[in-house]
């Protein structure tokens, strides 16, 4: 589930080949100017903005001259902002009630539709996928959909985050054809928001409207909104003649199932959710616990990848997909916005090379959109970035750098070692 839009209550709860290069290239016209939108509406003129600024400046000088604001005012504003921040964070990022977790620890809400009914595995017809490009949980579904050659079998609608945290559709957005994945209209139900789509199901819905979401277009019903259950389904379901260009790739072969599960038991709490436990921590103790768990796990994976091309040796698996969609966002977002600052991904030679290796798979790179990722985090998570300033894209996320030779194909499975959850 995506915590920008999906963890807010309702309401509010928001290429040809994609341009994936770093910040040096021209940004698309669709890019939202989040720092401006948080201050002025699009119709405000620059003159009125200057006038407002002059009034504020004049009032400040009248009250305390050209010096700093008085300490009493600073203390009052700080106390007010702190109280408002904690209130918003409790809604955005619910805290764990477990006695084993430090106070203020983030606890991800469970999915309302956690599994795909078995009947769909035998007959996966009339399904529609709802995603959003900033979301790492939705991204893993897009990656598996592409790797399995399911673009024709499983149509997709791509939502964009609104400033209030809800997921919105753009009525006249460009079509999603082949590798052209951009926010556009709701292609299954012609609705304006994802919340409206959820509300179409029998009996309605008043929970969190999360992505990714698998939808039965014929029955008008939510099939599943748990990302890992969806990618397992896409990997194993028989789409028959609807598959075009599929390679027969099995991302969860039976002989590796236990090892994949072992990796997921380590990666999900400490890395996938670990970055959110850092960013959404509401106490120093909660942050310290989360950040130590995150980097201890990254150190362990860095060592493992020194002798293994992928997590399970030479085979690309679902565990790699799940790790990749967090790593590709690490220097871009998590290192700065979520305070995962101990090291950058670029400082891990094996992890960074591994990320480049996966990024260079054509089906994978076609699902990446760095500008949408940055906009989705920095412009939507107001409690973490109240000024709405969008930073420059890190050099480590430059398309040309990510596309350089990584030489990881030289690694063999001879040094492969299994990982067990008890080791971390």
Please say whether the beta carbons of 396 and 345 come within 8 A.
Answer: yes
Which of 34, 135, 322, 340 is catalytic? The answer is 135
Residue 276 annotated in active site: yes
- The H-assigned helical ranges of 209-273 are 227-236, 257-267
Instruction: Report yes or no: 161 and 37 within 8 Å, Cβ to Cβ.
Output: no
- Per the residue annotation, which of 276, 334, 352, 359 is the catalytic one? 276
Closest Cα partner for 32 from 185, 186, 196, 183?
183
Helices (H) and strands (E) in the chain, counts: 16, 5
Beta-sheet strands, E only, within 177-252: 213-216, 221-224
How far is the first Cα of the chain from the last one, in angstroms, to the nearest whole number?
25
Helix (H) or strand (E) holding 139: helix 136-147
Q: How far is CA 120 from the centre of its chain?
A: 26
> What distance in Å separates the CA atoms of residue 299 and residue 124, rounded to the nearest whole number?
40
Q: How far apart are CA 368 and CA 362, in angstroms?
A: 11
Burial 13-50 (b: 16+ CB within 10 A, else e): bbeeebebbbbeeeeeeeebebeeeeeeeeeeeeeeee
Q: What is the largest CA-CA distance in the chain?
A: 75
Distance separating alpha carbons of residues 268 and 271, to the nearest angstrom: 6
Residue 73 burial (CB count, 10 A): 12
The catalytic site residues sit at: 135, 276
């Amino acid at each position: 589930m995506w915590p920008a839009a999906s963890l807010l209550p309702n309401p509010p709860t928001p290429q040809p080949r994609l341009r994936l290069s770093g910040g040096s290239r021209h940004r698309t016209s669709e890019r939202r100017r989040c720092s401006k939108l948080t201050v002025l509406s699009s119709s405000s003129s620059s003159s009125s903005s200057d006038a407002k600024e002059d009034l504020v400046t004049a009032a400040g000088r009248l009250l305390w001259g050209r010096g700093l604001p008085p300490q009493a005012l600073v203390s009052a504003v700080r106390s007010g902002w702190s109280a408002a921040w904690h209130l918003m964070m409790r809604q955005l990022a619910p805290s764990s009630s477990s006695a084993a977790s430090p106070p203020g620890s983030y606890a991800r809400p469970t999915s309302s539709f956690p599994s795909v009914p078995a009947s769909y595995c035998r007959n996966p017809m009339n399904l529609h996928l709802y995603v959003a490009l900033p979301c790492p949980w939705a991204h893993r579904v897009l990656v598996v959909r592409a790797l399995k050659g399911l673009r024709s079998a499983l149509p997709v609608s791509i939502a964009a985050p609104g400033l209030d945290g809800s997921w919105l559709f753009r009525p006249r957005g460009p079509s999603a054809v082949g590798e052209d994945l951009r926010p556009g209209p709701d292609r299954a139900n012609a609705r304006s928001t994802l919340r409206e789509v959820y509300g179409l199901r029998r009996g309605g819905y008043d929970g969190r409207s999360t992505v990714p979401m698998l939808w039965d277009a014929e029955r008008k019903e939510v099939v599943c909104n748990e990302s890992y259950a969806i990618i397992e389904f896409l990997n194993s379901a028989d789409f028959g003649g609807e598959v075009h260009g599929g390679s027969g790739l099995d991302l969860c072969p039976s002989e590796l199932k236990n090892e994949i599960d072992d990796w997921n038991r380590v990666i999900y709490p400490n890395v996938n959710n670990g970055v959110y436990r850092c960013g959404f921590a509401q106490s120093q103790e909660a942050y310290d616990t989360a950040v130590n768990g995150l980097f201890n796990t990254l150190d362990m994976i860095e060592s493992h990848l020194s002798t293994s091309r992928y997590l399970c040796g030479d085979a690309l698996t679902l565990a790699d997909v799940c790790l990749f969609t967090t790593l590709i966002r690490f220097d871009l977002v998590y290192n700065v916005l979520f305070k995962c600052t101990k090291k950058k991904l670029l400082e891990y030679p094996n992890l960074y090379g591994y990320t480049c290796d996966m990024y260079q798979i054509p089906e994978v790179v076609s699902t990446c959109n760095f500008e949408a990722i940055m906009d989705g985090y920095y412009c939507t998570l107001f409690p973490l970035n109240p000024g709405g300033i969008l930073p420059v894209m890190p050099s480590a996320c430059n398309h040309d750098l990510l596309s350089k030779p990584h030489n990881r194909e030289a690694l063999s499975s001879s040094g492969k070692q299994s990982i067990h959850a008890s080791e971390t």
